[in-house]
Structure 1
Amino acid sequence: MSEAPGRVDDEHARLVFDVFAQACTSRVTLEHVTGRWGILAMAALRDGTLRFNALRRRVAGVSEKMLSQTLQALERDGFVVREAQPTIPPKVEYSLSPSGEKTAELLMGLIDFVEAQMPEVMAANARYDEAKGR
């Protein structure tokens, strides 16, 4: 018997995920979300729906190919929603799903923390480089 789209069957509901286990699928999802481009794309989409090129401009430095792959992975994982409108030229917009919004909020906390720590990080870099003779 098949489940309705979007519903989790009982077998999947009983699974236990452990990101520290080598074969756990949560590792792949965590990589999609926290990878270099995933975290930036999700943070950018937190401000609202964006078309592909606007998102690419917001995430400076990402190639078209990498952004496309990142968005596909995040869409497959259910964090990003892709809406293609049948216009000429085609109009494609990206936004966060409800779980994507929650995840982006958590990621923004990390981003804000890291940015606030940058004076200490830069001082630590300088001490390390001096100690290593760089």
Structure 2
Amino acid sequence: MTDCVFCSIAAGDLPAEVVLETDDLVGFLDLRPVFKGHVLLVPREHVVTLPDLPAALRDPFLAAGQRLATAMVEGLGAQGSFVAMNNTVSQSVPHLHLHVVPRTKGDGLRGFFWPRTKYADGEAEEYAARLRAVLG
């Protein structure tokens, strides 16, 4: 897609600090990082969400995410990493991207970014049954 910023980065048409590159994937520094070293991993092919990711790219995508998470520790001295992706909601660029963020205890990032809730009596079983029905 010519109007997708991540497609343009993957094609080399827009500059980016690329840290990982394969035939199918590109990892580059986020311009507005949560912490310095924050990487976005994208497929070169325009894919909007994780459910759209072709089966042939699933393993390479996750393997590259693992490599980046390891690089946060070995290359940046982080104690660990935060790895996440949004699908449609809160997805600032409509192109699948995995955030890999270096983490250190006491860095100020507080778990998930949304409020937590609880299930009412019997509600967890209902939600689990609905998901099982779709998953087969």
TM-score after normalising by structure 2: 0.24
Q: Which one has the bigger strand percentage?
A: 2
Q: Which has the larger radius of gyration?
A: 1
TM-score after normalising by structure 1: 0.24
